[in-house]
Amino acid sequence: MLAFVLRRAGATLLLLLALSLLVFGLLYLAPGDVARNLLGTRNVTPEALAQIRARYHLDDPFLQQYWRWLTHAVTGDFGTSIRTGRPIGPLMLEKTGITAATAGLAFLLSVLVGVPAGIATAVRRGRWLDRVLVTVSVVGVSAPGFAIGLLLLYVFALGLGWFPIYGTGEGFLDSLWHLALPAVALALGLGAFVVKLTRAAVIRELDQDYVTFARGRGLSEGATLRIVLRNAAIPIVTSLGLMVAYLFGGTVLIEVTFALPGLGSLMEESVLFKDIPVVQALTLAVAFVVSAAAFLVDLSYLLIDPRVRARAVRR
Amino acid sequence: MAGIDERGVLSRRGLLKAAVTGVTILSAATLLEACGAAPAPESSGSGGSAAEGADTGKDIELLRVALPGSLSNLYPGQESGILNYYVAGICMEGLVGVDTSGAIVPALASKVERTSPTTYVYTIRDDARFHDGSPVTADDILHSIEMARDAKASPSTASYWANLDKATKSGANEITLSSKTADEAFGWIPSNVDALWIAPKAAWEKAKNQIGTAQSLLVGSGPYKVTDFAPDSHVELTRVDTWRGTRPKVAKIRFEFIADDNTRLLAWKANKADMSLNVPLAQARQWESAAGTRVVYAADRSYAGLTFNVSAKPFDDVHVRKAIAHAVNRDAIVKNILHGRGQVATALSTPEQFGGLWTPDQATKELAAIPQYAYDLEQAKKELAQSSVPNGFTAALSYPNTGPHLGTAALAFGADLKKIGITLDVKELPIEQWLAELNTFPPLSYMWYFNTTGDPGELASWFLGEGNPAKYTNATITDTMAKAGAESEPAKRAALLIEAQSAQAADVAYLPLWWGQSAIALSSAVGVHDYTSYTLLANWPEHLYAAK
């Protein structure tokens, strides 16, 4: 068990290292010049431009720049944001709450609605409820989050006035109220994805011989379904783990649409500005969360499936 | 804001309509992205008077302003977008400031004397106090100048101070600035519309290069102080009693940052704001049709034009440049693409930059004296026939994604150029990439420049000086510009600037296309006096009133 955890941690570290090099390289190659972004179209002397470039070490060779970043990063110093002039740690920390709340709310919504809906459609395969839910989920999977966001805003915020149009609100209930529409916009695509995956996994199990046998033995539908669900759980949980990565991608557009000061909008602005230190720190943070989620998913297999547990113990 | 507003939210019965229009908005937005412009509004000319509605004389308890972008740091020396200037300008002062006509006016200095072409003596006023109640001293000002010049504390604006030789305290209430070279534009640097924001020395020291963040809020001597700031969310400013001037009518101003154009329009329609800055021209008609809304236009001192790199083929040939100049129909661009929200540019200087000497109308007349190239495709063909490329050529022209109208205009004159044999390859670039491309001196490029000061020589001194983007040199012009730099008599200086630009027009290294306008939206409950391109850089809340 400990060996398993250590192996996974080592692999995650290697992954993060490779990712940091890749992102740094991509941003280095991306067109644009940080010094120009700071100054705009304004006329500046070449000396002034050179001074700014020197201050951010923009003229150093690529590997040297990366090494400088890495040696600081391993000590926990992710540097200073070029765009805002603030240290990155506190900058990210104050924005994490909003993104975590929106993403968490969207995750909860899509799981709490998506999994039961998926099971219901699988059990009633081919009947009207199945057809309706599958059609709705196809729409949900195909509609882009920001378009859904704008539509929701138009109908529920401007038209009906049930929800605020933008911002974060103050206090727990007010914040929840402000985050409801962004979370729903984010959860629609995600929930549809969960419905489709759950349906496929449950149907696959329902077609197995053991189900026919269980029914033949005279087990009740409820008891049979319990066995089926336990077996269908592994693919469902795996897909939920993958969704964490999707969630972070979705927040970028959703946060811009709803004017939420979270990590997503920070990411958008920093990438456009070529604010490398911020993008690096953000990518690594997201990669870390995704890796952690994958790790938790792996651990959950041990709980769900006794066969995996037996194999892990034997090793 | 308390008070009556005609903008009501839609009734529930209107839900279906709302949903349908929602789809229309989405598709319209996509369409706008695709063709880069909105359908033409029926009206032309001004979009309504700013001062509509009678002044009730009442206070405005809270003014809600929607900002079309996000502020992460309030100090313009760090983050120097135009929105940062609008917010910081009512909180912090410079030695001088600007009035609505574009003239330099005293701020923390009660008097400015130019004792020699390179020496400026500022007398510090004795009745100014910072928001914490402490008096503004010469030491605070000198320290603020030091911070403004420091690339660490003010990375965005430190380079503006390059021409400063030294700043000294020459008396108990006197500061002397001397410049390395005589330059009229130097007088603008110590203003809060350019590169100086004065805070107490103690505040700078406490903030340690972090001034303007939520942890170290701006401290200044202006009519408002920052009372709440959540980066990328909102900022709130409250009227102070330390302000020595007239008490503005607005007690509290809350800026909400709503970067997305569609979301901002929805927020406006839902009556969540009383004022919205930089209304996108492509969306102007939707804003104008919102209930209880006035969209007010004003020239924004922006210049859009073509730059020819005169050292690159085939633009090293003056006939090629003249052929293009004759093939661009500037009147049609302003009328059809800008829908009249702009003015055909005849020079690099904009008419609004001659404040104190000429009104914009007078300046337009004076600048029209510069030789122009009339739209004439026959003439264009003749010029091209005399050039090194009589059969035409292909050239690339890129424009920034933030100015879709530049792209539409390029496609429009590209069609005319095609008729004389020149193929224009127009492409859109993200603004960051476009800025980087300008650094590489492309053979043909757009310049889209927002003048920050009211100095008529701001763009001309760059474009006709050393290191200009056209790699253009002309000894006569260099002489004239040197004289203009040292001339302190405004009328004589203006004449020299026009002389230099007339000489440039003969060589067409630059082809001015249009001077732009920008728009703000006001609710019917708010009025504004003297709305010009400078108002938002001046003490702008002083010009607002509660309207009926």
Residue A132 belongs to domain with CATH number: 1.10.3720.10
Tell me: do A33 and A117 sit in the same domain: no
Mutation test of the interface with chain A: which of B20, B71, B156, choosing the one with the most A Cβ atoms within 10 A? B156
Kindly determine whether residue A259 and residue B260, on different chains, have CB atoms separated by under 8 Å.
Answer: yes
> Which residues, 6 or more positions from A286, have their beta carbon under 8 angstroms from its beta carbon?
A245, A248
Shared domain for A11 and A121, answered yes or no, is no
Chain B CB contacts of A273 under 8 Å are 432
Residue A169 lies in a domain: yes
Look at residue B23 and tell me whether its pLDDT is greater than 80: no
Is A37 within 8 Å of chain B by CB?
yes
Look at residues A306, A276, A281, A288 and name the one whose alpha carbon lies nearest to residue A65: A276
Is A202 a domain residue? yes
> How much is the pLDDT for A268?
83
Q: B210 vs A261: CB contact, 8 Å cut-off?
A: no
pLDDT on residue B239:
95
Residues A64 and A100 in one domain: no
B15 with A40: Cβ contact below 8 A: no
Alpha helix ranges (H) inside B218-283: 261-269
Per-residue pLDDT tens for B363-396?
A: 999 999 999 999 999 999 999 999 999 999 999 9
**Mean pLDDT calculated for residue range B120-141:** 94
| Residue A55 near chain B (CB below 8 Å) | yes
Contacting residues for A173 by C-beta, under 8 A, at least 6 apart: none
Q: Cα(B534)–Cα(B193) distance, rounded to whole angstroms?
A: 9
- B413 closest CA partner among B424, B405, B404, B402: B424
Does residue A257 share a domain with residue A110?
yes
E-only strand ranges, B200-314: 224-230, 234-239, 250-257, 275-279, 293-308
From chain A, pick out residues whose CB is under 8 angstroms from the CB of B234: 167
Chain B residues within 8 A of A168 when measuring between CB atoms:
230, 233
The domain total for chain A is 2
Task: Pick A36's closest partner by Cβ from B15, B435, B448.
Answer: B435
The answer to whether residue A245 is domain-embedded is yes
Q: Which of A86, A162, A168, A251 to mutate to test the interface with B (most CBs of B within 10 A)?
A: A86
CB atoms B269 and A258 under 8 Å:
no
Task: Out of A8-12, A130-134, A161-165, B475-479, give the one with best mean pLDDT.
Answer: B475-479
- Among candidates A304, A240, A299, A310, which has minimal Cα distance to A2? A299
* Cα A223 to the center of its chain, rounded Å: 35
Pair (A70, A159) in one structural domain: no
Q: Are strands B250-257 and B60-67 parallel, antiparallel or unpaired?
A: parallel
CB B231 within 8 Å of CB B71: yes
Q: Which chain A residues contact residue B452 at CB under 8 A?
A: 42
- Measured between CA atoms, the residue of chain A closest to residue B451 is A42
- Per the domain annotation, does A200 fall within a domain? yes
pLDDT band at B96 (very low <50, low <70, confident <90, very high): very high
Domain boundary among A272, A287, A303: A272
Q: What are the DSSP calls for B93-153, one per residue?
A: B-SEEE-TTS-EEESSEEEEEEEETTEEEEEEPSS-B-TTSPBP-HHHHHHHHHHHH-TTT
Q: Do both A111 and A61 map to the same domain?
A: no
B chain contacts of residue A32, beta-carbon cutoff 8 Å: 430, 432-433, 435-436
Q: CB of A48 within 8 Å of any CB in chain B?
A: yes
Any idea what the Cα angle at residue A126 is, between residues A125 and A132, rounded to 5°?
A: 95
**Same domain as A145, residue A16:** no
Q: Residue A223 pLDDT > 60, yes or no?
A: yes
CA separation for the pair B509, B536 (Å, rounded): 33
Q: How far apart are CA A109 and CA A191, in angstroms?
A: 7
State residue A145's pLDDT score. 76
Do the beta carbons of residue B36 and residue B404 sit within 8 Å?
Answer: yes
Q: Are residues A116 and A249 in the same domain?
A: yes
CA dist B104 and B97 (Å) reads 6
Q: Residue A153 has what DSSP assignment?
A: I
Q: Residue B159 and residue A55: Cβ atoms within 8 Å? A: no
* Helices assigned H by DSSP within B41-103: 82-88
Q: What proportion of chain A, given as a percentage, has pLDDT over 90?
A: 0
| Strand, coil or helix: A175 | helix
Q: Of the segments A194-198, B208-212, B504-508, which one has the largest average pLDDT value? A: B504-508
Q: Judge contact between A281 and A226, C-beta under 8 A.
A: no
Q: Are A195 and A118 in contact (CB under 8 A)?
A: yes
Residue A144 falls inside a structural domain: yes
Residue A83 in domain: no
Residue of A33, A44, A265 with shortest CB distance to B436: A33
Touching check for A150 and chain B: CB below 8 Å? yes
Q: H or E segment at A97? A: helix A88-123
Higher pLDDT, B35 or B256: B256
Closest to B10 (Cβ–Cβ): which among A159, A166, A266? A159
User: Is B248 within 8 Å of B223 (Cβ atoms)?
Assistant: yes
A308 or B10, higher pLDDT: A308
The answer to whether residues A59 and A202 belong to one domain is no
pLDDT at B1: 38
Average pLDDT over residues B1-27: 35
Residues A66 and A102 in one domain: no
- Looking at CA atoms only, how far is residue A139 from chain B in angstroms? 15
Name the 3-class secondary structure at B449: strand
- For A159, the closest of B15, B272, B447 (CB atoms) is B15
Question: Does A292 fall in a domain?
Answer: no
Contact criterion met (CB < 8 Å) for B272 and A165: yes
Gap from B385 CA to chain A (nearest CA, Å): 35
Q: Give the one of A36, A165, A273 whose C-beta lies nearest to B436's C-beta.
A: A36
Domain C-terminal end among A23, A44, A74: A74
Listed residues A272, A287, A309: the one ending a domain: A272
Nearest by CB to residue B430, choosing from A39, A266, A272, is A272
The 3-state DSSP composition of chain A as helix, strand, coil percent (nearest 5) reads 80, 0, 20
**φ and ψ at residue A87, rounded to 5 degrees:** -60, 145
Provide the number of CB pairs (under 8 Å) joining chain A to chain B. Answer: 171
Residue A46 lies in a domain: yes
pLDDT at A312: 61
Provide the domain limits for residue A31.
2-74
| Confidence grade of residue B46 (pLDDT, cut at 50, 70, 90) | very low
Cβ atoms B131, B220 nearer than 8 A: yes
For residue B68, the model assigns a pLDDT of: 87
A106 and A22 within one domain: no
Count how many Cα atoms sit within 13 Å of the Cα of residue B200 in the half-sphere of its side chain. 16
Q: How far apart are CA B88 and CA B157, in angstroms?
A: 14
Mean pLDDT of all residues belonging to chain B:
86
Which residues are paired to B64 by β-bridges?
B254
Tokens of B59: 């206070």
Same domain, A197 and A167: yes
Choose the mutation target among A82, A92, A96, A158 for the interface with B, i.e. most B CBs under 10 Å: A158
